[in-house]
Amino acid sequence: MTELTIPKGNLKILGRLFRMHRMKANFSLRGVARSENIAHTLVSDIENGKIYPNTDTLTGLFRQVGITLWTDLEALRQIKEDIDKFHDAIYYREHEYARRIFDKYGMKNSRLFYSLLLVDYVLMRLIAALVLNSEYNEQEIERLKVFYEHMNGAQKQIFNLLQGRHFVDANQHAEAKKVLMRNHDLHVNTKVSAATYSLLADCAKRTYHAFDTVDYGRKAANLHAEHANLPRKIETDALVANTLIDLGRFRDARKLLNIITMTVDESDKETRITRRYLNFLWSYYYLRLNRPKQALETLMSVHHTNANIDVPAYHFYKAEILVALNQNDEAIAVLEGGLARDTVRMDPIYGPLIEIFKKRLEAKQDATVEARIDELLPRVHKIEDYVVFRYVYRFAIDYYAARNQHQRALALAIEFIETPKHGYEMNQATV
């Protein structure tokens, strides 16, 4: 059995936690020091995180405020091993296994909270809430921030990743990037580094920073490969491939798409990047190469046709390909078919988008179009699909220009150019 090494910073954090309990109990610093027969200056230094106290001193101090500090290294060693297994299970998305580990200790374990593993336990508790239960305890996060300076590198990495994951889920990508970038120089736990780079790539993609997407995505994919996390590697590679297509780097995109396709075909593991999504990527690749016929054949492969009809994006992309083939009537029929399905019509992005697309092809005047445009413009910033972003902005610009609302059209054109300026310069000339 390996010996448990307690992060020294945990001792400082316990010292500061003791101060909170001493003040809450209205005990004087000097009185506590006299009871423990130690100098009050020593207690002050412990409370302010100026020194690393030993466990005997901490145990005595906590005893003064009626709390038993758990310092049994043998018992805590097994718990630390379980906590490490929990983090691995979260990384490999073995959520049921992670839940079983966590359930052994629970959401409110006072013994662990007042132990030498308090930071590791609290971080596990917060991750379990966010990843397993989709709950984010902002109040507890704020309390933990007070102790950030005393955390070791691995704990800081996990804390930053936890916050970043929440901000990404909340579509607060600027805040997510700011937090995640703190891990840029922290590489204590390379699995956490891999997950961090994946989230940074996701943030960059959703804010149309293409070169950052490729850079972070490749770093993440390499680290995922080192840890044999095939599903995460495939997902990240697909994100990079999509971005390479956006950038017009078709040779690099094709090479990566071939690798992903072979990997998915040869793997018996379930991944989030399904063959259906690969078909979308290949179809998009052919469309951008101005090969719409091949794009349509790929999208309509027999293996995927029935599975696609409830996917909102499918109807939009199929219609776009048909328009490129000058088959406008067929495109309108596809869009109508999409709007007839609840899963498509109720989608907050593709529902109004398909409705606008259909009206545009029909060249119909409709009083609701402008409202739909204004409804869509802020929403497209919350998804990572540059094709949708480009379509909505170009349609909006054309719509307002055709109605002599040139100031509004110009403002949108500037916004269209400025938003992706860090990655999609090659598309700016198409406005």
The closest alpha carbon to 86, from 71, 104, 111, 70, belongs to 104
Maximum distance among all Cα pairs of the chain, rounded to whole angstroms: 90
In this prediction, residue 307 carries a pLDDT of 55
In this prediction, residue 425 carries a pLDDT of 45
Per the structure block, which two tokens stand in for 106? 């629970």
Tell me the residue type at 178. Answer: K
CATH H superfamily, domain 8-70: lambda repressor-like DNA-binding domains (1.10.260.40)
Predicted structure pTM score: 0.85
Task: Indicate if the alpha-carbon torsion angle 319, 325, 328, 330 is positive or negative.
Answer: negative
CA–CA distances in Å: residue 240 to residues 171, 259, 270, 381: 20, 12, 20, 19
In the CATH scheme, what architecture does the domain 74-203 have?
Answer: Alpha Horseshoe (1.25)
Q: Which residues contact 345 (CB under 8 A, 6 or more apart)?
A: 338, 339, 351
Percentages helix, strand, coil for the chain (3-state, rounded to 5) are: 75, 0, 25
Q: Which residues contact 305 (CB under 8 A, 6 or more apart)?
A: none
In this prediction, residue 384 carries a pLDDT of 67
CA 84 remoteness from chain centre = 21
Q: Are 259 and 268 in contact (CB under 8 A)?
A: no
In this prediction, residue 370 carries a pLDDT of 83
Orientation angle between helical segments 210-226 and 190-206, nearest 10 degrees: 160
Q: Which residues contact 124 (CB under 8 A, 6 or more apart)?
A: 83, 86, 87, 102, 105
Per the structure block, which two tokens stand in for 93? 């998305």
The residue extents of the domains of the chain are 8-70, 74-203
CA–CA distances in Å: residue 349 to residues 9, 233, 355: 47, 28, 10
Q: Are 161 and 192 in contact (CB under 8 A)?
A: yes
In this prediction, residue 424 carries a pLDDT of 45
pLDDT string in tens for the chain (431-residue length): 455 677 788 888 888 888 888 898 888 888 888 888 889 899 898 888 888 888 898 899 889 889 999 998 888 999 999 999 999 999 999 999 999 999 998 877 888 989 999 999 999 999 999 999 888 888 888 888 888 988 999 999 999 999 999 998 888 888 999 999 999 888 889 999 999 999 999 999 888 888 999 999 999 999 999 999 988 999 999 999 999 998 889 999 999 999 998 887 666 555 555 677 888 899 999 999 999 999 999 988 744 555 566 778 889 989 999 999 999 999 999 999 999 988 888 888 888 889 889 988 888 767 778 888 888 888 877 676 777 888 888 888 888 888 889 898 898 888 887 775 444 444 433 33
CA–CA distances in Å: residue 90 to residues 85, 102, 140, 157, 225: 9, 11, 20, 15, 17
Q: Are 90 and 131 in contact (CB under 8 A)?
A: yes
In this prediction, residue 109 carries a pLDDT of 82
Other C-beta atoms lying within 10 Å of the C-beta of residue 311: 20
Collapsing DSSP states into helix, strand and coil, what is residue 268?
coil
Q: What is the C-alpha separation between 232 and 254, in angstroms, rounded?
A: 20
Other C-beta atoms lying within 10 Å of the C-beta of residue 400: 20
Q: What is the C-alpha separation between 55 and 5, in angstroms, rounded?
A: 13
